[in-house]
Chains A and B, each alone.
Chain A
Amino acid sequence: MTGEQIIFLITAGFTLGSGLMVVTARNLVHAALWLVSALFGVAVTYALLNANFIAVVQIVVYIGAIAILFIFAVMLTRRDMRESGPQMNKNWWSGAILAALVFAGLAFLLQGWGGFSKTASAFPSGFDAVGELGEALVSPDAFVLPFEVASVLLLAALVGAVYLAFNKK
């Protein structure tokens, strides 16, 4: 058991545990905060995968923007400061079974795949992953189009969200 593996296991457990708390916390604000920790765990996973830029973007975008947005939304839709009623609906056992089945199915399918137990190849030295990513994002014969479309998408989302949530008072 190398050190890397141990670190991975701790991170994985942390992430999964946070995820479970996200979906089972009664208090919605607690759930949102547990989401933050889960997202953090995912960022560490990215770092383990040598995807530095992605890890940083994860923290900035997800935790810094999205999770905060969630907390805002929770605040705006509370009738009072107390939480009342159960947090799960009455079909929670069928949901649990289905989720378990999905996990089992995915695992089964994946382990049937040849490259399942592949080990990582060495990260080439001197490889500027971020620079390459940047070039790929703006290079005309690479992925500039999806990049630009994504920005249009964000514009549309922005307009939509403003319109939807606009208070007409």
Chain B
Amino acid sequence: MIPLSWYLILAAALFSIGLFGVLVRRNAIAILLGVELMLNAVNINLVSFWRYGDVTAMAGQVFAIIVFAVAAAEVAVGLALVISVYRRRNTVIADELDMMKW
């Protein structure tokens, strides 16, 4: 009843919104929020491909589980980094963290 296309479009849209957030937000933590959205969009894609393909093949769900683990690890480390930078530079504005410029 619900064509696959709907889920895929939903995922694509969520992905684009997350991408917009990554590209545009000043605060570093807000950027990481955008990254979370993108990862969730990917997960939606994976699960819907599992459901609309061979249901007995567990690869889709396993992949999604792994993505969960990775996302969690990544958020932990990323936020630890942001906090560490904040302690050093006293700022979380991404534009002010430009020590790698020429």
Closest chain A residue, CB of each to CB of B76: A161
- How far is the CB of B29 from the nearest CB of chain A, in Å? 6
Give the docked Cα–Cα distance between A28 and B64 (Å): 28
The binding surface of chain B is classed by DSSP as helix
Q: Mark B49-87, 1 if CB is under 8 A from A, else 0.
A: 011100110110110111011111111110111111011
Contact A116 B5 (CB under 8 A): yes
Partner of A150, one of B3, B36, B66: B66
Write out the residue numbers on chain A whose beta carbons fall within 8 Å of the beta carbon of B6: 8, 12
- Count of residues in A whose CB is under 8 Å from the partner chain: 92
Write out the residue numbers on chain B whose beta carbons fall within 8 Å of the beta carbon of A31: 30, 33
Contact B56 A156 (CB under 8 A): no
Closest chain B residue, CB of each to CB of A39: B40
Give the docked Cα–Cα distance between A133 and B16 (Å): 30
Partner of A77, one of B69, B70, B92: B92
Partner of A73, one of B2, B64, B79: B79
Question: Can you show 28 pairs from A to B with CB atoms below 8 A apart?
Answer: A8-B2, A19-B37, A23-B17, A23-B21, A23-B24, A28-B27, A45-B7, A49-B51, A51-B47, A72-B79, A76-B86, A87-B26, A89-B24, A94-B23, A99-B16, A100-B16, A102-B19, A103-B15, A107-B9, A110-B12, A119-B3, A124-B56, A135-B58, A136-B58, A136-B62, A150-B70, A154-B69, A164-B81
User: Footprint of A on B, CB under 8 Å?
Assistant: 1-10, 12-21, 23-27, 29-30, 32-34, 36-37, 40, 43-44, 47-48, 50-52, 55-56, 58-59, 61-62, 64-66, 68-77, 79-84, 86-87, 90, 92-95
The 3 nearest A-B residue pairs measured at CB:
A95-B23, A23-B21, A157-B73
